[in-house]
């Protein structure tokens, strides 16, 4: 690697660098102004503030609780204002535009259809309008010179009993933009094995799925997600570090589960800022991603909920760069890891890697080298 790979990376270059996002919640990424406008349109009168800056600050502060359960309570408002076809279409469109503007070239965005039915929409109508919104957003991004592809993950709530129905919808819509399935929600007391019927159905249908596991709960959640349910990826997976011992002399020992996850190249959808907010990690500086990247796990970097965490993909990369000294080469490594792990066909993944990611990083690396030579960094 050249010297530019290890130089401090200016934020504007991180924004330019191609990025891939696998773990992002649609209802966790609304623009504060959009929340306010949708609340007025739909007569939702329970917002804590109608000032965009104050509302953004409230979401961040309320989410920074150290508790996953408290963190999840903030979604009452974003879900509350997205109960109509127009609202769903708008937030999906804006999501695609915002990600593209941040340099994301491929994203998988997840949402739970069952949470948007209080005003009479059916689950199919919810999915159709979200897909339409993403199509519009991708087109608007292209017109603005940004190329992004968005795939949808349908999420079932692990605290509910509709997972098989949502799994069937993910298969029904998989040729129309849905690329996979997920379960989310409070982990403790709601193991993934409660939804075995859905996972067995998806495997029979050759469908892809990820499972939120190893965030608020420990190794048993990860073990069940992989060995009982057959997850292709792990949503978060932070607590895999509990099966890794770092000895006083610096040597590292992996337990059997950690070894299995690394050996099988099971992708970890890590969300640093969110993990700190929910107490899954002590701080960015002490986030397990540093150790896991050093040990060669299939680690990816993600936003989780851009509104609640006040973040973006570029911001997450910047935080990791500051904490661990990562340069552009490391960011490319994370990005290619994510693209390899996406739920789209191999040839399409390879095309994005070769035609967008690698050329994009070559370009920003050259630009960084020029700035270094000129002494402008």
First to last CA, the chain: 19
The pair phi, psi for residue 331, each rounded to 5°, is: -65, -40
**What amino acid positions are annotated as catalytic residues?**
215
pLDDT at 190: 78
Strand partners, 25: 110
Q: Is a pLDDT exceeding 80 seen at residue 317?
A: yes
Q: How far is CA 262 from the centre of its chain?
A: 20
- Mean pLDDT computed over 252-261: 98
C-alpha closest to that of 95 among 141, 157, 145 = 141
Whether the CB-CB separation of 288 and 238 falls below 8 Å is answered with yes
Cβ-defined contacts of 361-366 (< 8 Å, 24+): 361/17, 361/18, 361/328, 361/331, 361/332, 361/335, 363/16, 364/13, 364/16, 364/17, 364/328, 365/2, 365/4, 365/5, 365/328, 365/329
Helix (H, G, I), strand (E, B) or coil at 272: helix
* Rounded Cα distance, 353 and 355, in Å: 6
Q: Is a pLDDT exceeding 50 seen at residue 5?
A: no
Least confident range from 125-129, 183-187, 333-337: namely 183-187
- The confidence band for 7, taking pLDDT boundaries of 50, 70 and 90, is low
Least confident range from 123-127, 141-145, 183-187, 352-356: namely 183-187
C-alpha closest to that of 78 among 130, 152, 153, 28 = 28
For the stretch 260-306, pLDDT in tens is 999 999 999 999 999 998 888 999 999 999 999 999 999 999 999 99
pLDDT at 6: 52
pLDDT at 261: 98
Where do the structural domains in the chain lie, given as residue ranges? 3-31+85-374, 32-81
Least confident range from 57-61, 94-98, 232-236: namely 57-61
Sole residue written with tokens 């605290």: 159
Q: Any idea which architecture 3-31+85-374 has in CATH?
A: Alpha-Beta Barrel (3.20)
For the stretch 354-375, pLDDT in tens is 999 999 999 999 999 999 999 8
**Strands 252-254, 268-270: parallel, antiparallel or unpaired by DSSP?**
unpaired
pLDDT at 72: 75
Alpha helices by DSSP H, the chain = 11-16, 32-42, 52-63, 68-73, 75-80, 85-101, 123-143, 163-172, 196-204, 219-223, 256-263, 272-277, 289-294, 306-309, 313-324, 328-340, 346-352, 358-374
Whether the CB-CB separation of 272 and 301 falls below 8 Å is answered with yes
For the stretch 59-69, pLDDT in tens is 988 888 777 77
Q: Is a pLDDT exceeding 90 seen at residue 122?
A: yes
pLDDT at 171: 98
pLDDT at 2: 42
* Rounded Cα distance, 88 and 167, in Å: 20
Residue-averaged pLDDT of the chain? 94
pLDDT at 36: 98
């Amino acid at each position: 690697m050249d010297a530019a790979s290890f130089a401090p990376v200016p934020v504007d270059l991180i924004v330019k660098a191609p990025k891939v996002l696998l773990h992002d919640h649609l209802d966790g990424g609304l623009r504060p102004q959009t929340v306010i406008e949708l609340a007025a349109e739909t007569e939702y009168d329970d917002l804590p503030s109608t000032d965009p800056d104050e509302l953004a600050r409230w979401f961040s502060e309320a989410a920074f609780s150290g508790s996953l359960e408290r963190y999840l309570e903030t979604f009452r408002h974003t879900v509350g204002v997205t109960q109509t076809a127009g609202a769903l279409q708008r937030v999906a469109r804006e999501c695609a535009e915002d990600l593209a503007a941040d340099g994301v070239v491929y994203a998988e965005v997840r949402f739970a259809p069952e949470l948007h039915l209080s005003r009479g929409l059916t689950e199919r109508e919810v999915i159709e309008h979200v897909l339409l919104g993403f199509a519009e957003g991708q087109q608007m991004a292209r017109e603005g010179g940004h190329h992004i592809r968005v795939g949808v993950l349908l999420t079932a709530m692990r605290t509910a009993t509709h997972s098989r129905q949502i799994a069937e919808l993910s298969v029904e819509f998989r040729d129309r933009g849905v690329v996979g399935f997920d379960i989310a929600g409070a982990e403790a007391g709601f193991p993934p094995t409660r939804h075995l019927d859905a996972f067995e159905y998806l495997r029979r249908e050759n469908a892809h799925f990820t499972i939120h596991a190893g965030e608020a709960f420990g190794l048993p959640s990860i073990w069940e997600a992989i060995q009982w349910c057959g997850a292709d990826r792990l949503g978060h997976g932070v607590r895999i570090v509990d099966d890794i011992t770092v000895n006083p002399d610096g040597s590292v020992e992996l337990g059997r589960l950690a070894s299995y996850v690394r050996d099988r190249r099971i992708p970890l959808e890590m969300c640093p800022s969110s993990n700190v907010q929910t107490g899954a990690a002590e701080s960015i500086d002490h986030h397990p991603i540093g150790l896991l990247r050093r040990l060669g796990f299939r680690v990816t970097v993600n936003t989780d909920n851009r509104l609640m965490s006040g973040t973006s993909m570029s911001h997450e990369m910047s935080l990791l760069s500051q904490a661990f000294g990562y340069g552009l080469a490391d960011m490319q490594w994370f990005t290619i890891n994510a693209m390899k792990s996406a739920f789209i066909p191999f040839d399409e993944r390879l095309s994005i890697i070769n035609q967008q990611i690698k050329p994009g990083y070559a370009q920003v690396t050259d630009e960084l080298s020029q700035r270094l030579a000129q002494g402008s960094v």
